[in-house]
Structure 1
Amino acid sequence: MRNRKPWLVLLLVAVAGLLLFVWRLGMTGLVDETPPLFAASAKAMAETGDWLTPRVNGLPRYDKPPLVYWLMGLGYALPGQSLWNPFGTWASRLPSALSSIGLMLLMALTLLRRPQGQPDGAQQAVTALAAALAFALSPLVLLWSRISVSDALFSGLLSAALLLFWWRYAGLCRWWVPWLVLGLAVLAKGPVAVVLAGLTALLFALLQRDLPGLWALWRPWRGLALTAAVALPWYVLELLVEGQPYWDSFFGYHNLQRFTGVVNNHLQPWWFFFPVLVVASLPFTPLLLAGLVGALRPQPAPPEQSLQRFAACWLLAVFVFFTAAATKLPSYWIPATPAAGLLIALAAQNLRPGWRSAALRGSTLALVGVLTAGLAAGNLWVPLINEPEMPTLSSALLASGALTRASLCFGMGGVAALLLWWGPPSARRGWLLVQQLGMGAFVVTALVPMVELGDRLRQLPIRRMASLALEQQRPQEPLAMVGILKPSLHYYTQQVVVYEGVQPNGPLNLNDRLAREQRRGQQPSPASPGASVLVVIDGNTATLPHWRGVPHQRLGTIGLYELWRVPRPALNQWSKDLAERAGLAPDWQEPRPERY
């Protein structure tokens, strides 16, 4: 029996998505360290009109293809930025938020058009809503859908392509539609989209024992040609313009080396994604595991009833591929979260009276109880938080009351779910939804305020320091940051910032770079009498011997950061003294896989 008002279900999904991902989205600043690199690159595209190569801090940025930069850049190209986009985050975060909302709608529509099993109209609506919310309420999705990076966009496009591949199998769309969307996914993150889609398709074909039939339906050779037609033109143009550096960085370092070797110290054990799988679906992990086991039964499913099996193959493809990769990050699991949402909702739909259903329901609500108790007991563990960049975090978090609100939201949702299950059969189908409603209230009343608190403690000092630097800066005076490196300083000052770490030869690097390094927006300048450089330095780095001895004038202190004016001749002399005394030399010109 089909649901007669699918538009109402989709409207509810859209409203939920807007509350979860767009509510107060632009009311906080950029979060260091990666999001400002994306935002600054996109803003540079809009300002310079160079929509081919992303650039940040005067250098090309080769780590991702252009689609996310293009979408962010369209926002930055709109007029009135100071009115509607004061922190630069509406424009840079909307692609992530809208990608997740669009995917929620597609997941719900899939279950409305091809219900799994024999649910009545009300159960169809409940399952469609529950699947969309199970995806959206994953901790990974909640975080990555509200920041300025490419992961949510890539996950949304890849997941849409995979769902459309299943649509084709279920007789819902033309063969070329998923391949077109897959091409956009390749423009969002690269060839890994094709690999994950291909691995999912292969696992599904083997499990269904229908490789010839699926091959005929999906037409992979023609489909890959269409995907290439969408994605390859930009890659070819970028290679023609940027040449070997782009090839080495994007294809070599950011793709091949991430799979075969560990980059950026992201070494994790082989079993890393087992706990990620568990945590990413809390508190519904028992339902996820039940849905996964139920989907892997040996007998093939009819095409229109195979969504649960397809979702299981999708999740396993992500798990197998990234487990095999040497570099592992929690964000790599995001493309599996839509599949997890489908498995959770279908497992809940299939619950029947009996000990197995009682165990699944009981374990899920037990996890809700554990989370509720843990949040209520925040005064026991929050003081143990030690975050050097936010020394007052624990006291501020307890004073905000956010943990109390979070505990109430989880607890009330759990109690409501328990009461519904004890109620009449017609009410039991809503037990999962009411728990999800409580979690949605947690996002609006507790999680978003906690994010805003973190912004005030961690990011506001950087924005204020950027304003102070602009007030104090003399004409043609360069700006540097040493120690804790925050790309948002580059974004908010809208100029090239020379970044140096805490290494002992840092002063030598800074001195040499000012005299010799050339970037877009920065020209070399001599250490002539009267010349100076503004330096933003954190308090810990300022106490290190090789920086403490640098002659400087302190212009202000904001939070952890100090603003110095350093005479260039004095910096030059100090660098010479360090080189002679400690045998140091500049090394900033040595090849580095990532630089900004």
Structure 2
Amino acid sequence: MRMKLSVKHTVDQWFNKIAKNPALGVTVSVLWLIVIGWIAFGWNLGNIGLIDETEPLFAEASRQMFVTGDWITPFFNGDTRFDKPALIYWCQAIAYAIIGVNEWAVRLPSAIAAFGLVCLAFYTIQWYLAKEDELEQVSRPTRRYLTSFIAAALMALNGETIIWARIGVSDMLLTGCIASALLCFFLGYAGKEGSREQGAGSREQGENSNSSPLPPALRPSASSTPFPNKWYLACYVLIAGAILTKGPVGIVLPGLIIFAFLLYVGRFREVLREMRLFMGILIILGLSVPWYALVIWRNGWNYINAFFGYHNLERFTEVVNGHSAPWYFYFLVVLLGFAPYSVYLPASIIRLKFWQRSHWRSLERFQQFGLFAWFWFASIFGFFSIAVTKLPSYVLPLMPAAAILVALLWNDLFPDTETQQKTPVSPTPSISSSFLRISGWLNVVFLSVLATALFNITQILGTDPAISNFHELIQKSGLPVIAGLMWLVCAILVAAFLLTRRWNYIISINLIGFVAFLIFVLTPASFFIDRERQLPLRELSAVILEAKEPNEELIMLGFKKPSVVFYSHIHVNYLRFPKEAIEHIQNQAAKGLQPPSLLLLAEQKKFLQMELQPDDYKSLSTKGAYNLVRVPFKKKKSEKIDIS
């Protein structure tokens, strides 16, 4: 016990020293953010090839923009691609211009969006806890820094965020825009400390008071200005970015969260006035509408029907591309995607007692931060649970809120030794030790189940047509055993800390376990899968570039792998069935095309189904499960191709 107090006293002294030296505090914070950001988003970001099937679609459409200079209409493989708006393509094309056309450039926008969000969340939580200490007239630098460090780590180091921050698609950019917009809204909202009961005049006086928590540069110059304060302005700009990333959902989600929150706390009209909503709408429309106007002007109803009809309305009201799931789907996504910290979400939510509306309405604005995070989490979860089409990436924007909720739960467990004798005036009751103990044992059970599942992963995973001996290779790698042992050790340590009532260390064990899992299991596994699944296609793309004759057609039979289009830089004709390929070859032969041949890329089983004779083709390369051959156009006297 004496050693425990000594260590804690040393930690408190260290954080007190940081708090008294702002430059040191900034340095330590920046270093922490860089370390977790590099581990989560930067390390080996571009050292793995593009992942079929979605990522190469974005990468190639962006490359086409970069090559052709057409920054309005996205194209893939010669066809328009209206799935997503232009912002992600612009970001990737700019990255191409800076660092070249490669995997790093494809994924850099996603990684930057994730890292920027984590940094803004870190600042917001630091600001909130500093205001709480100011209100309670205490100094708790240890609690403030530890909570902020944990919140940033939870936000970065979870499976859902890491997956989408390391893939060059639009989901992480959308999440970065929406989540950052919500944080900016709260900073603007919490910076207005005037009370409703004081009336408009008192609010204006509060806005211009020197006691405002916002820096002078971020305060509005006058209460009568038609422009919103700079945090609200940033919120509007980020919402416009979300609209340019994924369409109407970019304004629907933050609008739903903000309006529901304001209605609940009874500040709807008051805050909408101070936000200068009309001006904000003009800013959003002014930034987002021009590209939509240009793409519609150029493509007309084709774009309107494809994007607004199919990719927005139908995805919400109907099952699109077979992406249906049961009502409890997102419970599983959050449980596994935010693992292993997701087991603490129930305790984090119950801790708030969000149903006590009169209590929350009586608090200062900044004290409503936890309630705001709850509305953020619940609104997105509910919205996409109602939607008919379901995908794991849809609830990615709620992961930052989940991290904030769990970090605030642990905030109650980080008192400073200097203030332990004082009774804090917490805006929300602390979670009871019994409920926390239940969550802790759920943590132990979850980690144990996870370890057991990883030990037996080959019996759980399905087969991959591109890797015939997938299960055998995974087992030989030893990764399932390493992963299972890691989480089993974590389960034992969490149980030990629960028994000794050392609550503070539990979340650290989960974080350390996840980092070890990422470094020693997930990263080697991603290299293994890339080598077995994607490398053969990249190697064949290089062969195609070298062997292809001018105007020679490339057919991909039986599968769609857009990465071949990106790496070979040529048009690919996708055909599904062997009979369809034979008929196509006959038709091309009858046209007398030059050169009198085409390239055929097929899985070995599909290639065998074509029953080509040895003199009907020339084998160029075989990689993994794929064959690349050249099929010459041979004609009989009847002018029909002879491939029998």
Same fold (TM over 0.5): yes
In 1, the alpha carbon distance for the partners of 2:584 and 2:284 equals: 45
CA distance in 1, matches of 2:296, 2:147: 46
Unpaired runs of 5+ residues, structure 1, are 516-524, 579-596
Which whole-Å CA distance do the structure 2 matches of 1:130 and 1:499 have between them? Answer: 48
Conserved? CA contact 1:186–1:193, under 8 Å: yes
Q: Deviations over 1:519-544 (max 9, x none)?
A: xxxxxx93348611101011222244
Distance 1:124 1:13 in 2: 15
Tell me which amino acid in the other structure corresponds to 1:390.
I
Of 618, 623, 636, the residue aligned with 1:553 is 618
Report how far residue 210 of structure 1 moved. 2.3
For structure 2, list consecutive stretches of 5 or more residues without a partner in the other structure.
1-14, 20-24, 134-138, 192-213, 219-228, 414-430
Instruction: Name the structure 2 match of 1:381.
Output: 459
From 317, 321, 324, the counterpart of 1:264: 321
State the secondary structure of the residue aligned to 2:98.
Answer: coil
- Contact 1:422-1:428 within 8 A present in 2 as well: no
* d(CA) in 1 for partners of 2:451, 2:400: 25
How far has the Cα of 1:230 moved from its partner? 1.2
How many angstroms does 1:153 deviate by? 0.8
User: Mapping of 1:130-145 within 5 angstroms?
Assistant: 130-145=150-165
1:537 aligns with 2:602: yes
Note closer, same or farther for the CA distance 1:47–1:359 as it changes in structure 2 (3 Å cut): same
The Cα of 1:62 is off from its aligned counterpart by 1.2
How many Å apart are 1:143 and its aligned residue?
Answer: 1.1
Distance across 2 between alignment mates of 1:281 and 1:498: 40
Moved more, 543-552 or 4-13: 543-552
Letter in 2 for 1:134: L
Equivalent in the alignment of 2:412: 350
Amino acid in structure 1 at the alignment position of 2:252: V
Give the match for residue 371 of structure 2: 309
Percent of pairs with identical residues: 32
Shift of 1:559: 1.3
CA contact (8 A) 1:131 1:342 kept: yes
Matched residues in 2 for 1:67 and 1:142: separation? 21
TM-score by length of 2: 0.80
Q: How does 1:76-87 map to 2 (within 5 A)?
A: 76-78=96-98, 81=100
- 1:511 to partner: Cα distance: 6.3
Distance 1:212 1:576, change over 3 A: farther
Aligned 8 A contact 2:380 2:395 in 1? yes
Cα separation, 2, equivalents of 1:348 and 1:575: 75
Structure 1 residues 7 and 420, CA gap change in structure 2 (3 angstroms): farther
For 1:98, the equivalent position in structure 2 comes to: 112
- Post-superposition Cα deviations, 1:32-71, rounded to whole Å, max 9, x if no partner, equal 0111111111112222222222221122211111111111
1:356-395 to structure 2, matched below 5 A, reads 356-375=435-454, 377-378=455-456, 381=459, 385-395=462-472
1:43 aligns with 2:63: yes
Matched residue, 2:126: 112
For residue 231 of structure 1, report the CA deviation from its aligned partner. Answer: 1.0
- Is the CA contact 1:138–1:280 (under 8 Å) kept in the aligned structure 2? yes
Give the distance between the partners of 2:85 and 2:594, measured in 1 at CA.
44
Q: Which aligned pairs between 1:278-357 and structure 2 lie closer than 5 A?
A: 278-295=335-352, 296-299=354-357, 300=360, 301-350=363-412, 354-357=433-436
- Measure the CA separation in 1 of the matches of 2:595 and 2:183: 64
Report the CA distance shift for 1:270/1:407 in structure 2 as closer, same or farther (over 3 A).
closer
SS of equivalent residue, structure 1 residue 566: strand
Instruction: Work out the number of aligned pairs and report it.
Output: 558
- Which residue of the partner structure matches residue 146 of structure 1? 166
- CA shift at 1:147, angstroms? 1.0
> Aligned equivalents of 1:570 and 1:250: distance in 2?
45
Take 1:6 and 1:350, find their aligned partners in 2: how far apart are those partners? 24
Cα 1:44–1:559 change in 2 (3 A) is: same
Q: Which residue of 2 aligns with 1:226?
A: 283
Partners in 1 of 2:153 and 2:31 — Cα distance?
Answer: 13
Shift of 1:217: 3.2
1:537–1:561 contact (8 Å) kept in structure 2: yes
The 2-side partners of 1:348 and 1:559 are apart by: 49
Contact 2:618 2:629 in 1 (8 A): yes
Shift of 1:284: 1.8
Sort the Cα spacing of 1:430 and 1:379 in 2 relative to 1 into closer, same or farther, 3 A: closer
Mapped to 1, the partners of 2:463 and 2:34 lie a distance apart of 38
Q: 2:54, 2:276 → 1: CA distance?
A: 38
Distance 1:484 1:550 in 2: 25
Deviations 1:1-46 (A, max 9, x none): 9972254234202211111111011111111011111111111222
Q: Which of 214, 230, 238 matches 2:271?
A: 214
**What is residue 312 of structure 2 aligned with on the other side?**
255
Q: Is the 8 A contact 2:325 2:390 kept in 1?
A: yes
The residue identity in structure 1 corresponding to 2:571 is V
Q: TM-score, normalised by structure 1?
A: 0.86
- Structure 2 counterparts to residues 12-23 of structure 1, below 5 A: 12-23=32-43
How far residue 508 of structure 1 moved from its aligned partner, in angstroms, is 4.0
Assess, with a 3 A threshold, how the Cα gap between structure 1 residues 178 and 543 changes in structure 2: closer, same or farther: same
Output the aligned Cα RMSD.
Answer: 3.0
Matched with 1:397 is 474
Aligned positions of 1:434-445 closer than 5 A: 434-445=509-520
Per the alignment, residue 589 of structure 1 pairs with: none
- More displaced, 164-173 or 2-11? 2-11
SS at match of 1:347: helix
Contact 1:413 1:439 in 2 (8 A): no
Aligned partners of 2:458 and 2:475 also within 8 Å: no
Following the alignment from structure 1 to structure 2, what is the Cα–Cα distance between the partners of residues 549 and 270? 53
Shift of 1:253: 1.3
Find out whether 1:277 has 2:334 as its counterpart: yes
Deviations 1:176-204 (A, max 9, x none): 22111111111111111100011111221
Are the equivalent residues in 2 in contact too, given 1:34–1:149 (CA < 8 A)?
yes
Structure with bigger gyration radius? 2
Q: CA deviation at 1:236?
A: 1.0
